[in-house]
Amino acid sequence: MLIAITGGVGSGKSAVMEILKSFGANVLSADEVNDEIIKDPEYIEKISKLFDGVVKDGRIDRVALGKKVFYDEKAMKKLNDLAHPLIIAETKKRIAKMDGAIFVEVPLLVESNMQDMFDRIWLVKASRELRLKRMLLRDTISEEYAKRIMASQATDKIRMKYATDVIENSGDENQLYNRVHELYHSLYE
């Protein structure tokens, strides 16, 4: 069984993944796949050609790239058109090597059109205000930049169209743990 863990930036997907790891679940992160792809020399070359000034010392400067794409929808589309197929292909390869129930953290599930790959989709939700607060505490970015990142993603209303289960993450850690525990064990009933 394949289960996607999705939700907006700052919703708590990583916290859900940590809880699943504590249960001994098979987990995979599309962000970690992306982190490896952006080190590939061919990919770096393609990014360099698409986005002037974002490759420095042979590496992609993620801050510079973010400033290009989060302020320009056409630039974001170019990046997604390049990155999403590579992330999807590598994610599928890794899934094929795993057994049993597999939980895949996919922040841009709807944006990358990956929803049909999964048997279940767990949507992690939190209010926009709480997500913004979490981003500002976690990352060294401005509020305006954080809002740009949020605006570049699908809304929870859109994600709800595909969600099979919802994890409300506006409470404390115990509430989150209990909800993930409940959903996890419901898969094996």
3-state SS, one letter per residue, for 78-125:
HHHHHHHHHHHHHHHHHHHCCCCCEEEECCCCCCCCCHHHCCEEEEEE
| Best CATH choice for the domain 2-186 from the list 3.40.50.300, 3.30.70.640, 3.40.190.10, 3.40.710.10 | 3.40.50.300
Please give the pLDDT value at position 189: 75
Q: Check if the beta carbon of residue 112 is closer than 8 Å to that of residue 87.
A: yes
Beta-bridge partner residues of 25: none
Half-sphere CA count of 138, side-chain side, radius 13 A: 12
* Cα 89 to Cα 106: distance, rounded to the nearest angstrom: 13
Pairing of strands 120-125, 2-6: parallel
Say how many residues make up the chain: 189
- Which residue, 175, 170, 164, is CA-closest to 4? 164
* Cα 152 to Cα 182: distance, rounded to the nearest angstrom: 31
Please give the pLDDT value at position 140: 86
pLDDT digits (tens, 9 = 90+) for 67-94: 999 999 999 999 999 999 999 999 999 9
pTM over 0.85: yes
- Which residue, 166, 167, 61, 162, is CA-closest to 112? 162
pLDDT digits (tens, 9 = 90+) for 96-137: 999 999 999 999 999 999 999 999 999 999 999 999 999 999
